[in-house]
Amino acid sequence: MYKKSFNNRGGYQGKRKFNGGNRGRGNRFNNKKAINIEGFISKIENEPKKEEYVVKSTYDELPINKTLKLNILNKGFTVPTAVQELTIPHILKGKDIIGLANTGTGKTAAYLIPLIEKAINNRKEKILIIAPTRELASQINVEFYSLRKELFIYSVLLTGGASMGRQMKDLRRDYNFVIATPGRLKDLMRRNQLDISKFNTLVLDEVDRMFDMGFVVEIKELIRELPKNRQSLFFSATLSPKIEDLINESSNNPVKINVINHTAAANISHDVVKYNNDNSKIELLHEMLIKTEFKKVLIFGRTKFGVNNLGKELRTRGFSVDEIHGNKRQSARTKSLSLFKSNQVTILVATDVASRGIDVNDITHVINYDLPDTFEDYIHRIGRTGRANKSGSAITFVKQ
């Protein structure tokens, strides 16, 4: 349910105005008049809803290796998600796929399960998975290792911010999967450390985000290096004409799977905080964060500088907080995310790009301390809460 503004004394009060401010430079972007959060929320609430897909099978019915099946069951999963039930059989048959699915719908397992099965049946199989960010690539790798236990199938993780020498060493070992970000993959290919011409399976995850981040040229160059006779799997939350053109050029009669029922989860409430004075914005945030219902909070800032400053300010006020942004080393970003997942810190401040791959099911609140640039960014941000059928809350600061 959408509420107009947040009352920092414990409730909601119609169109009450609040003063607010920020001690980080990045928040001057909140003055951008092109962003209409109320319009975003209205678009979500008025969007026609598709009939929800009803899953009909169980994992036990899948025609896959017994150990792989046991690994799935040991994770506590007995029934596939919609994207998994619709996608896995086609991938097992070698079909190309366009999978339209939001994060949190189980799409990673939807391609990992059948591709691990593919590698079990052919130990020489080479599979390339490309993700837009380090966090997402790392998350995919974690999921991979939870599914391949006792199967003696290995992956190499290639991301920026990690040791190039270590990755070169890993590439000299036996592996079936390479999970990579575009930049580091291209660097290692330039150094003749990796020849992808023998990889006959390609996965592009979050294709829309790769386009947003300007990886189009790199992706097209990488695809040209792959064999023409291959299986290609594309996953995206949106399908623009440019993305569709890339997929059509790079695939063979792909099966289209669409499990996006809603733009945003129905169990997320949307709230707008209006403020006048920059000097008190941080005070309003403080008043929110001390409330007991703000148990695990993800705060979005627009710039690295602003995120860093906001994290420091909240720490001086006694909050348990950490930051994720592009200036932090990969090891530090991984540590920050681990602390957040394990509740050793309860507040994480992040930029949009660095937040990709944050897969945490118990985030109670997402706060847009700085406005998102686009509707798609808003959807991505708020999708970090309300996961696994839990309720969530999205709060956006807007300057009057």
Could you read off the pLDDT tens digit of each residue along the chain, which spans 400 residues?
444 444 433 333 333 333 333 333 334 334 444 578 877 777 677 666 666 778 899 999 999 999 999 999 999 899 999 999 999 999 999 999 999 987 778 899 999 999 999 999 999 999 999 999 888 999 999 999 999 999 999 999 999 988 999 999 999 999 999 999 999 999 999 999 999 999 999 999 999 888 877 888 999 999 999 999 999 999 998 888 889 999 999 999 999 999 876 556 667 889 999 888 766 899 999 999 999 999 999 999 999 999 999 999 999 999 999 999 878 877 788 888 889 989 999 999 999 876 666 778 789 999 999 998 887 788 878 888 887 667 899 999 998 8
pLDDT given for residue 133 in this prediction = 87
Pairing of strands 321-324, 365-368: unpaired
Cα-Cα-Cα-Cα torsion 355, 361, 365, 370, nearest 10 degrees, comes to: 10
Q: Alpha-carbon distance 22 to 248, whole Å?
A: 46
Domains plus CATH for the chain? Answer: 2-49+266-399 (3.40.50.300), 59-258 (3.40.50.300)
**73 contacts 49 by C-beta, under 8 angstroms:** no
For the CA atoms of the chain, what is the radius of gyration? 22
**Residue 324 identity:** I
**Neighbour order of strands in the sheet with 365-368:** 2-3, 268-275, 392-399, 365-368, 297-300, 347-350, 321-324
pLDDT given for residue 20 in this prediction = 34
Q: Alpha-carbon distance 59 to 66, whole Å?
A: 11
Measured from the Cβ of residue 51, the count of other Cβ atoms closer than 10 Å reads 6
**Neighbour order of strands in the sheet with 97-100:** 155-158, 177-180, 127-130, 201-204, 231-236, 97-100, 255-258
**Computed from CA positions of residues 179, 196, 328, 351, in that sequence, does the dihedral angle turn out positive or negative?**
negative
pLDDT given for residue 50 in this prediction = 63
**77 contacts 59 by C-beta, under 8 angstroms:** yes
**81 contacts 55 by C-beta, under 8 angstroms:** yes
Q: Alpha-carbon distance 387 to 364, whole Å?
A: 9
**CA 322, chain centre distance (Å):** 19
